[in-house]
């Protein structure tokens, strides 16, 4: 069984190291590196087997000569050019030595560690770029190995690994092919051409295993599989099934749903390769939620039954939940490198509450800004532009913005520490800022080095641009436009000021707060009614109040706005400073 994987300079990963168990689930969003990690394992096995074919179990040498690998034999990793396997496509480094540029290969290094009845073992392989079609692989030689010790441990040679991609459909006519050709087709992702062959291998070599597959498919999908048949005169394999309650009607396997074909492929593959390390990419593909959990259970049980180890990659929350329930090894793919999950139940709760996308955003941005809603963010950006605050503009354009949906600090507190717990970017720490409308006394949480809690001194952010002069300037700007909307063409400064006077007088009669003061919730109690009364509710509503900001007279902009922008910039800048 494999117990550890270390990878350097492979695809999106500069370096990572993870522990493995008998059942492992790689979980993360799309394009997070889950498949790349599976491919790293497959590349390691390809290198080990290629070395053994050319060099056998040769004894230790200081630096063994590399073995050439052609791109076309690296079946589990289909790429048009081998440079694509290297991290950031960098295959060589250049440095000056005595005034001359000296090139040095940057190898991919993949080390697998394992444990079996013979004990613990470790085997590393390095791969050097030799051109778009060729690379060289050799074992990584450690200084503490004995001179007569084999370069590659015999235990590593006994590892039988197979990477199974998702089901890609099913051909109508499937030719009978040899086991080696089946492996080639799988490596090329052509699972549509090999399913009947895999079933035929199981049926002919281990009939008892075939009966188990038939029973599992009947249990999951309610259909009965007929044994695969070899058509000698055509050189093809055919296969049919019967639906529950109709024992006479036979349907060709191509009539089955994609989910059933996917499940049959997985089960057939596992039973045809007992004791293997099986790598599954999206085993839940084509399966509805209820069956995702069921197929994961069957994979785990079948791996245990056949003495194998399985490592699966998925972004399904159902599989994540089932993996944690079974106490399987859970690897979280977020950001630059995967992370071992020590408290899966806690992580699953956070994922259900916040989703994978939030963790991904946290890793990408390194900091988070909490505001009541997207309107607040638009207004802050408008203020930063109005004040020509370049640093604030940069910060607000590069934030992981999280709308709170209310003026309650409880959510940012919970959410921030869930994100910070999963964040891993070297010595850098995850940072955050939360800006609220004015809160009741003593309701603002205490800030610390990680997150700053801020509040506006006035009722809400809209109070900072709600002035008569702002509204008049906005109308004047609309009048100057060549393409003034029809609803605005009949509006004038006079009508705007008249409506403002009416509303101001009405508020005085009702003994309400002034719209120009600090205490009114002006967005809903003044601005929205004002634009409604003017017949402009379709032109300007709360979601685009930010367009009023550019029309504030400079002398009316509160210094507090700059203070808040500066505070946000301070948090943004500290995301790269571990001591901040």
Strands 329-332 vs 339-340: parallel, antiparallel or unpaired:
antiparallel
Domain ranges of the chain: 1-160+275-353, 169-272, 357-458+562-574, 462-557
Asked if the model's pLDDT at residue 264 lies above 90, the reply is yes
Q: What is the mean pLDDT of residues 265-294?
A: 85
- How far is the C-alpha of 171 from the C-alpha of 92, rounded, in Å? 43
Tell me what the pLDDT averaged over the chain comes to: 87
Share of the chain above pLDDT 70, in %: 91
Strands 100-105 vs 134-139: parallel, antiparallel or unpaired:
unpaired
Contact assessment for residue 97 and residue 103, using Cβ atoms and an 8 Å cutoff: no
Binned at pLDDT 50, 70 and 90, residue 467 comes out as very high
Determine phi and psi for 131, rounding to 5 degrees.
Answer: 150, 175
Question: With the CA atoms of 491, 493, 497 and 500 taken in that order, what torsion angle do they form, in degrees rounded to the nearest 10?
Answer: 50
CATH code for the structural domain at 1-160+275-353: 3.40.50.300
Q: 272 vs 187, which has greater pLDDT?
A: 272
Residue with tokens 């995850």: 430
Please give the pLDDT value at position 60: 56
Contact assessment for residue 262 and residue 287, using Cβ atoms and an 8 Å cutoff: yes
| Whole-model pTM over 0.75 | no
Binned at pLDDT 50, 70 and 90, residue 580 comes out as low
Task: Supply angle C-alpha 21, 341, 339, rounded to 5.
Answer: 95
Please give the pLDDT value at position 32: 85
Asked if the model's pLDDT at residue 484 lies above 70, the reply is no
Asked if the model's pLDDT at residue 374 lies above 60, the reply is yes
In 41-160, beta strands by DSSP E: 67-70, 92-97, 100-105, 108-116, 119-129, 134-139
Please give the pLDDT value at position 490: 60
Task: Supply angle C-alpha 386, 389, 395, rounded to 5.
Answer: 115
Please give the pLDDT value at position 543: 86
Residue 470 burial (CB count, 10 A): 16
Of 385-389, 428-432, 537-541, 572-576, give the range with the top mean pLDDT: 385-389
Q: Within 13 Å of residue 563, how many CA atoms lie on the same side as its CB?
A: 10
Binned at pLDDT 50, 70 and 90, residue 143 comes out as low
Asked if the model's pLDDT at residue 142 lies above 80, the reply is no
- How far is the C-alpha of 287 from the C-alpha of 97, rounded, in Å? 58
Q: What is the mean pLDDT of residues 131-155?
A: 78
Asked if the model's pLDDT at residue 132 lies above 90, the reply is yes
Kindly report, residue by residue over 226-243, the tens digit of the pLDDT. 999 999 999 999 999 998
What is residue 514's DSSP assignment? P
Asked if the model's pLDDT at residue 82 lies above 90, the reply is yes
Asked if the model's pLDDT at residue 489 lies above 60, the reply is no
3-state secondary structure of 440: coil
Asked if the model's pLDDT at residue 309 lies above 70, the reply is yes
- How far is the C-alpha of 195 from the C-alpha of 199, rounded, in Å? 6
Of 162-171, 173-182, 277-286, 291-300, give the range with the top mean pLDDT: 173-182
- How far is the C-alpha of 454 from the C-alpha of 466, rounded, in Å? 21
Asked if the model's pLDDT at residue 428 lies above 70, the reply is no
In 406-551, beta strands by DSSP E: 431-436, 451-455
Please list, in sequence order, all residues whose beta carbon lies within 8 angstroms of the beta carbon of residue 320, skipping any fewer than 6 positions away: 25, 27, 314, 330, 348, 351
Of 155-159, 302-306, 559-563, give the range with the top mean pLDDT: 559-563
Please give the pLDDT value at position 451: 93
Q: What is the mean pLDDT of residues 491-520?
A: 86
Q: What is the mean pLDDT of residues 393-418?
A: 91
Please give the pLDDT value at position 401: 95
Asked if the model's pLDDT at residue 57 lies above 70, the reply is no
Please give the pLDDT value at position 481: 67
Binned at pLDDT 50, 70 and 90, residue 460 comes out as very high
Asked if the model's pLDDT at residue 435 lies above 70, the reply is yes
Asked if the model's pLDDT at residue 122 lies above 70, the reply is yes
Strands 161-164 vs 277-281: parallel, antiparallel or unpaired:
parallel
Of 63-67, 189-193, 387-391, give the range with the top mean pLDDT: 387-391
Q: What is the mean pLDDT of residues 267-282?
A: 89
Please list, in sequence order, all residues whose beta carbon lies within 8 angstroms of the beta carbon of residue 508, skipping any fewer than 6 positions away: none
Q: What is the mean pLDDT of residues 437-453?
A: 89
Kindly report, residue by residue over 161-201, the tens digit of the pLDDT. 888 888 878 999 999 999 888 888 887 778 889 999 999 99
Please list, in sequence order, all residues whose beta carbon lies within 8 angstroms of the beta carbon of residue 100, skipping any fewer than 6 positions away: none
The least confident of 142-146, 191-195, 378-382, 489-493 is 142-146
Asked if the model's pLDDT at residue 124 lies above 90, the reply is yes
Please give the pLDDT value at position 353: 76
Q: What is the mean pLDDT of residues 296-321?
A: 86
Asked if the model's pLDDT at residue 427 lies above 70, the reply is no
């Amino acid at each position: 069984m494999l117990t550890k994987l270390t990878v350097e300079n492979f695809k999106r990963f500069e370096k990572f190291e993870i522990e493995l168990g008998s059942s492992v689930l790689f979980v993360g969003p799309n394009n997070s590196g889950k498949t790349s990690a599976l491919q790293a394992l497959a590349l390691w096995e390809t290198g080990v087997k290629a070395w053994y074919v050319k060099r056998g179990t040769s004894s230790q040498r200081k630096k063994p000569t590399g073995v050439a690998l052609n791109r076309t034999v690296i079946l589990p990793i289909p790429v048009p050019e081998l440079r694509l396997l290297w991290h950031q496509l960098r295959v060589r480094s250049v440095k000056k030595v005595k005034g001359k540029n000296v090139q040095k290969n940057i190898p991919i290094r993949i080390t697998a560690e394992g444990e079996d009845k013979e004990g613990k073992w470790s085997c590393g392989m390095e791969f050097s770029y030799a051109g778009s079609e060729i690379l060289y692989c050799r074992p990584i030689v450690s200084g503490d190995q004995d001179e007569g010790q084999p370069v590659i441990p015999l235990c590593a040679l006994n590892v039988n690994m197979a990477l199974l991609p998702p089901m890609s459909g099913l051909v109508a006519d499937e030719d009978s092919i040899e086991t080696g050709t089946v492996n080639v087709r799988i490596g090329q992702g052509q699972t549509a051409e090999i399913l009947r062959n895999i079933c035929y291998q199981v049926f002919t070599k281990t009939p008892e295993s075939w009966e188990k597959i038939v029973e599992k498919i009947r249990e999951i999908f309610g259909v009965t599989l007929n044994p695969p048949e070899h058509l000698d005169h055509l050189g093809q394999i055919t296969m049919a099934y019967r639906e529950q309650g109709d024992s006479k009607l036979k349907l060709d396997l191509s009539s089955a749903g994609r989910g059933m074909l996917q499940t049959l492929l997985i089960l057939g593959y596992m039973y045809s390769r007992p004791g293997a390390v099986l790598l599954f990419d999206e085993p839940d593909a084509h399966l509805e939620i209820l069956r995702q959990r069921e197929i994961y259970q069957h994979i785990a049980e079948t791996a245990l039954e056949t003495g194998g180890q399985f490592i699966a990659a998925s972004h399904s929350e159902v599989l994540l939940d089932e993996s944690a329930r079974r106490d399987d090894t859970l690897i979280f793919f977020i950001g630059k490198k995967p992370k071992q999950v020590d408290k899966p139940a806690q992580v699953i709760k956070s994922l259900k509450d916040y989703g994978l996308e939030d963790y991904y955003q946290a890793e990408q941005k390194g900091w988070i800004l909490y505001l009541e809603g997207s309107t607040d963010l638009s207004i802050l950006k408008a203020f930063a532009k109005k004040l020509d605050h370049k640093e604030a503009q940069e910060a607000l354009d590069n934030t992981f913005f999280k709308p709170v949906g209310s003026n309650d600090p409880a959510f940012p507190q919970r959410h921030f520490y869930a994100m910070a717990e999963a964040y891993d970017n070297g010595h850098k720490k995850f940072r955050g800022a939360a800006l609220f409308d004015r809160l009741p006394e003593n309701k603002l949480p205490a800030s610390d080095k990680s997150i700053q809690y801020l509040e506006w001194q006035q009722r809400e952010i809209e109070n900072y641009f709600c002035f008569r002069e702002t509204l008049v300037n906005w109308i004047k700007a609309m009048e100057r436009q060549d393409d003034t909307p029809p609803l605005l063409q009949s509006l004038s400064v006079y009508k705007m000021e008249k409506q403002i006077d009416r509303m101001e007088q009405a508020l005085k009669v009702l003994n309400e707060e002034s719209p120009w003061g600090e205490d009114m919730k002006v967005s809903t109690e003044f601005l929205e009614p004002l634009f409604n009364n003017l017949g402009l509710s379709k032109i300007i509503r709360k979601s685009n109040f930010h367009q009023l900001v550019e029309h504030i007279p400079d002398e009316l902009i509160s210094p507090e706005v700059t203070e808040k922008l500066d505070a946000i910039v301070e948090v943004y800048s500290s995301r790269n400073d571990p001591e901040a």
